Structure 1
Amino acid sequence: MKEAFVDKTVTVAVRDTEVPVPKPNQVLIRVVVSGTNPKDWKVPRWIPDAPPSNQGDDIAGFVEAVGEGVVGFKKGDKVAAFHEMMKPHGSYGEYAIAWEHTTFHLTSKTSFEEAATIPLAAMTAALGLYQRLSLPLPWNPTSEPLPLVIYGGATAVGAFGIKFATLSNIHPLIVVAGRGASFVEGLIDRSKGDTIIDYREGDEAVQSKIKAAAGNKPIHHALDAVSEHGSYLNLSAALTAPATISTVLPTKEGDVIPEGIKIDKTMVGTVHMDPTVGKTIEDREFGAAFFQFIGRGLAQGWFSGHPYEVRPGGLNGLEGALRDLEAGKASAVKYVVRIAETDGVQQ
């Protein structure tokens, strides 16, 4: 099969490799469309001594085979899945491996392109809101005003955060965005106090407008889908202690966070990890349940993927997509690739 490998210079090489065999509780998927994520170029940069690897994690395709113990899927099922990060056989290939518990069914309502925008980013948002910030879950929505700041509302993580928060009836949503503000406008509900703040107005303006958007009432929760360029510093200055900010990247050494403001990093890979000692149920079981919830939402129409742009050339077009991600060219859009467009692939 054809498979793409990304090296430390974000150069992509498409190679011929063997089709993997699923282990117990794993699913082998014939990939139709793969999504892309910023980590796909960041990880090779961060770990330059590592060999080139298949960094893709967002899978959409058909089940080809299942490992021992898999009962929820069979060959031919239309699915999307979240590949275990940093492991072999990711989504940048004709076939990929996923664990059964991070795979979910798709109906004819959902295209492979839309589905490929969902797994990593949507689960990051869900973990941040519900496991890190402990906000009310969609099936037990709040009935009281609950201000929430979402920094980076046009990013996939931020947009999915808005969608989940809306399902949980969390308002007012105070969303920080820039050139993607027009996209964010279609996600929020102004009648419930939701608003958008343009980060390009400067740090002081962002901080004061966040406070004003909540009517100068306390804000104790924030989802930071950017986690760089001072985003969590702006949030920590605007929130009222005790407060928690869920980030997607670690804080920088030397950054001063006010007392009473907790920074809790969300690492989406925890859905593939064992519970911590002394616990039975943690992020892995949350992920298993929430991926099925996402699948139901797609089927019933109350959840949707992120806007996408198909990058031409399949895996041969992947390098250009990753370089554009690195250059910050993507706003309110996910880059996806159709595997069948790769040179030498016949699907």
Structure 2
Amino acid sequence: MTRVIRFYEHGGPDVLRIENIELSPPAQGEVQIRVKALGLNRAEALLRAGKYIETPTLPSGLGLEAAGIVEATGEGVVGFAQGDAISAVPPLSMVRWPTYGERINFPAEFVVKHPASLDWATAAAVWMPYLTAYGALINIAGLGKGEHVVVTAASSSVGLAAIQIANSIGAIPIAVTRTSAKRDALLEQGAAHVVVSGEEDLAARLSAIAGPEGARVVLDPVGGSIFEPLTAAMAREGILIEYGGLSNEPTPFPLFTALSKSLTLRGYLVHEITGNPARLEAAKRFILDGLASGALKPVIARTFEFDQIVEAHRYLESNEQLGKVVVRV
């Protein structure tokens, strides 16, 4: 028997339950992992609340990231052996392959032998933020040296990963945060500039920083009312990459700004990277090289125990954290 976390109805963190189940042996192409740590993501809170792009059959498991030790391999698996220290790349479906458990079966194609220098918590905090940021900034936007990039929700794990990736290639990250409480921390984390959207004129500040040409690249998971000032400060033929929808406000389409500047406003999911083997391999090389050099270093906001999963989800949704929320197993 092994303990897993599931929910039987949609709702807040309190719907999460810890249960004992019988785990089957790994199927063909899968590895069985003794989980040591979980990285939590907003997507899991959305699935739990019934607001995610997947609609689970209840009861459902959840979870996209984990790190641990290989316990067994299924038929056809090569390159992994019992005892290997690994971390899990977010799968195409967390309903099919949830990670919230003491032991899990997981597709080998989404398992990575991470650098030995990483502890379990750090290893569990790598793949979702860095793959998301890499796919948007490098693969899609082609961000280059000397370019300004605007990063909203900058204190999130993806936001911090984007700041680090931008710095690693010589770009200039402009962090956008809602209040001034995290301004100093974001500067310490490598933001070249910090704009406080709740206390400053967002468009005016961005334009003052990026200059009259504007910022070519914007990375945003929020939407809502900041869409118009963001696009107002963008460069001609710029690209705004939207990878979430955290705002509860309607998101207005900035028609005339988009027309006058020939803007690209693009929706994006990390599945564009994880679902394409060639893109995923390129992303893994970039990220592993960055981890090895120290240019990329996951930021852990707070660590919880497995039995504290409800409290961990409450903290995840509090917006208090700077970086990744991790659960030890």
Which TM-score tier does this pair reach, normalised by the shorter chain?
0.7 to 0.9
Conserved in 2, the CA contact under 8 Å of 1:53 and 1:88? Answer: no
Residue aligning to 1:34: 38
Report matched runs for 1:115-130 at 5 Å: 115-130=123-138
Residue number among 312, 315, 325 corresponding to 1:324 in the alignment: 315
Q: Shift of residue 215 of structure 1?
A: 2.5
1:24 to 1:231, Cα distance in 2 relative to 1, 3 A: farther
Closer/same/farther in 2, CA of residues 155 and 168 from structure 1, 3 Å limit: same
For 2:312 and 2:251, the matched residues in 1 are separated by 33
2:62 aligns with: 55
Match of residue 141 from structure 2: 133
The amino acid of 2:161's aligned partner reads F
Task: Give the Cα–Cα distance (whole angstroms) in 1 for the partners of residues 35 and 294 of structure 2.
Answer: 24
Structure (1 or 2) with the greater strand fraction: 2
Mapping 1:249-288, distance limit 5 Å: 249=244, 255-257=252-254, 258-259=257-258, 260-273=262-275, 283-288=276-281
Between the aligned partners of 1:96 and 1:183, the Cα distance in structure 2 is 36
Matched residue type, 1:322: H
Q: Is the 8 A contact 2:135 2:273 kept in 1?
A: no
The residue type paired with residue 37 of structure 1 is N
What is the alpha-carbon distance in structure 2 between the residues aligned to residue 24 and residue 294 of structure 1?
Answer: 28
Contact 1:83–1:91 (Cα < 8 Å) also in 2: no
Q: Residue 90 of structure 2 contacts residue 274 of structure 2 at CA under 8 Å; is this kept in 1?
A: no
Letter in 2 for 1:207: A
Moved more, 296-305 or 6-15: 296-305
1:208 aligns with 2:204: yes
Any conservation in 1 of the 2:300–2:326 contact (CA below 8 Å)? Answer: no
Q: 1:244 to 1:107 in 2, by over 3 A?
A: closer
**Structure 2 CA distance for aligned equivalents of residues 115 and 124 of structure 1:** 16
Q: Residue in 2 aligned with 1:109?
A: 117
Matched with 1:196 is 194
Displacement of 1:222 in angstroms is: 0.9
* One-letter amino acid of the counterpart of residue 214, structure 1: A
Deviates more, 1:250-259 or 1:213-222: 250-259
Given that residues 227 and 251 in structure 2 are in contact (C-alpha distance below 8 angstroms), is that contact kept between their aligned partners in structure 1? no
Cα distance in 2 for partners of 1:217, 1:337 equals 44
Residue matched to 1:74:
81
Give the number of aligned pairs: 312
In structure 1, C-alpha distance between the alignment counterparts of 2:29 and 2:58, rounded to whole Å: 27
Unmatched 5+ residue regions in structure 2? Answer: none
What do residues 13-45 of structure 1 show as CA deviations (whole Å, max 9, x unaligned)?
111122243334333211001111111111232
Task: Tell whether the 8 Å contact from 1:83 to 1:98 is kept in structure 2 after alignment.
Answer: no
Quote how far apart the aligned CAs of 1:269 are.
2.5
Is 1:18 paired with 2:19? no
Displacement of 1:201 after TM fit? Answer: 1.2
- What residue in structure 1 maps to residue 234 of structure 2? 239
Indicate the SS of the match to 1:87: coil
The Cα of 1:127 is off from its aligned counterpart by 1.0
Could you say which residue in structure 1 is the equivalent of 2:290?
297
Deviation at 1:161, TM superposition (A): 0.5
Identify unmatched segments of 5+ residues in structure 1.
137-141, 274-282, 340-347
Q: TM-score, normalised by structure 1?
A: 0.82
Equivalent pair of 1:104/1:295 in contact (CA under 8 Å)? no
Q: Percent identity?
A: 22
Q: Please tell me the residue identity of whatever aligns with 2:120.
A: F
Q: Equivalents in 2 of 1:16, 1:271: separation in Å?
A: 34
In 1: Cα distance, 2:267 partner to 2:105 partner:
26
Instruction: Work out whether residues 154 and 181 of structure 1, in 8 Å CA contact, stay in contact via their aligned partners in 2.
Output: no
